[in-house]
Amino acid sequence: MPSRSRATVGAAAVDSDSGSDSAAVGRGQTRQRVIEAAADLLAREGRDAVTTRAVAVAAGLQPPAIYRLFGDKEGLLEAVAEHGFATFLAAKHVDPDPQDLIEDLRDGWDLAVEFGLANPALYTLMYSEPTRATSPAFRAGMEILMGRVRRLAAGGRLRVDEELAATLIHATARGAVLTWLSLPEDRRNPALLTTLRESMVAAVTNQKPAVQDTGPAGAARALRATLPEQTTLSGAEQHLLREWLDRLASEG
């Protein structure tokens, strides 16, 4: 029997690769359809309505397909939560050079709270498990928040260190949403959200640039925030300077 030519073998390999790619695309599209069906059920009827059978029906599939794609119901819920983080991330519009750093902080906080209030069931799912903090979209969102915090620090507007500031900003927004959702509708006072936001702003920032105030702490925070951008110092020198700045900043 004559052997096949190299061209024939090569064409078969290309066809095989093309088929694999098409299958992967089809699987990805089906997975996204299931996630969107589950998210829609969650928004309309709540978490208890998100059963594998109900989601399969909504997505036009048989229940075993859910298990093949996500492993189990918890895997599906994890995927829906990741979808929520990605949706929120897409809604963020970041100004790399805001005119008013404090207003930029307020705007970011308001956006986070508004997303939670507009998507109560999804938001609760997103933040119901601590392990969801490992979500790639969650981490990307936190990096955007850290960018805001670094700009505040570089502008001398940060009262506390960067890590604490980011934690306070995130925690107050998250707490504001979950507290609001836990209240009966007749007890939901908008002043709660405003007060929480302004308390966060007061705790995290200086109303005037800290470099104009007496003492080295604010200046140390501002200089520390710009260290990653400089190229003059060696790694060891940066490390030593950061240690000194950390000590000075902690005195404020």
Which pLDDT score is estimated for 14?
47
- Determine contact, residues 178/127, Cβ cutoff 8 Å: yes
- Determine contact, residues 57/9, Cβ cutoff 8 Å: no
pLDDT band of residue 65 (cuts 50, 70, 90) is very high
> What is the Cα–Cα distance from 97 to 89, expressed in whole angstroms?
19
Question: How far does Cα 194 stand from its chain's mean position?
Answer: 22
All domains of the chain, ordered by start, with CATH? Answer: 16-71 (1.10.10.60), 86-211 (1.10.357.10)
112, 114, 41, 28: which is closest to 77 by C-alpha?
A: 41
Average pLDDT, the chain: 84
Mean pLDDT in residue range 33-40: 96
More confident residue, 135 or 209: 135
pLDDT at 124 over 50: yes
What is the length of the chain?
252
pLDDT at 198 over 90: yes
Question: How far does Cα 66 stand from its chain's mean position?
Answer: 26
Mean pLDDT in residue range 207-232: 62
Range 55-59, long-range pairs (CB < 8 A, 24+ positions): 59/30, 59/33, 59/34
> How is 118-132 classified by DSSP, letter by letter?
HSHHHHHHHTS-GGG
Strand partners, 158: 205
Which pLDDT tens digit goes with each residue over 76-106?
A: 999 999 999 999 999 877 787 889 999 999 9
Residue 36 exposure: Cα atoms within 13 Å on the Cβ side: 9
- Structure-derived torsion over alpha carbons of residues 141, 114, 46, 168, reported in degrees to the nearest 10: 50
Mean pLDDT in residue range 174-200: 95
